[in-house]
Amino acid sequence: MTIEINGMAHVILTVSRFEVAREFYRQLLPALGMKPVFDSDRLFYCVGARTAIGIEPCDPEYAGERFVQPRVGLHHLCLRARSRDDVDRCAELLRDIGATIVRGPQEGGWAPGYYYVLFEDPDGIRLEVNHVPGAGLLATDAAFNPSEGYV
């Protein structure tokens, strides 16, 4: 039996500096076509593009910690753009809001035509916006290139 999922419903990110992160995501997510539907002192939640992203504060004992990518858990979150121009516009927005851009926008070897920008939120949580033309790795003749590594 196969269960056919229909995308990702939502992601909730736990942040150490909620007010700083909320300001960052208030600028980023609406620019990515996501509408804020809940905004309180314990949750900021946006819906759009067939998914939702929310942030919530960490427990007080973890306040001040930063994200460490190689630990168990989330490596990074990648959102798919409709065009290379959208990736470029995202990078421009990231520069305007003072985000840390790790690399890009640039091409990568993960799929034919892969184009992306990799960046960090105020806690160092890594996010990516990419564009892959056509079917990407879903095409029958496409192949993943492990020598390129992971973002």
Q: Could you read off the pLDDT of 43-100 as tens digits, one per residue?
A: 999 999 889 999 999 999 999 899 988 888 999 999 999 999 999 999 999 999 999 9
Q: What angle do CA 106, 123, 94 make, to 5 degrees?
A: 35
Q: Could you read off the pLDDT of 126-144 as tens digits, one per residue?
A: 999 999 997 555 554 545 5
User: What was the pLDDT predicted at 1?
Assistant: 85
User: CB within 8 A of 38, min separation 6: which ones?
Assistant: 44, 45, 54
User: What was the pLDDT predicted at 139?
Assistant: 54
3 state DSSP class of 119: strand
Domain that holds residue 66: 11-148
Residue 5 domain-assigned (yes or no): no
Residue 17 domain-assigned (yes or no): yes
3 state DSSP class of 30: helix
Residue 102 domain-assigned (yes or no): yes
Mean pLDDT of 107-119: 92
| CATH assignment at residue 33 | 3.10.180.10
Number of folded domains that form the chain: 1
pTM of the model: 0.86
User: What was the pLDDT predicted at 134?
Assistant: 79
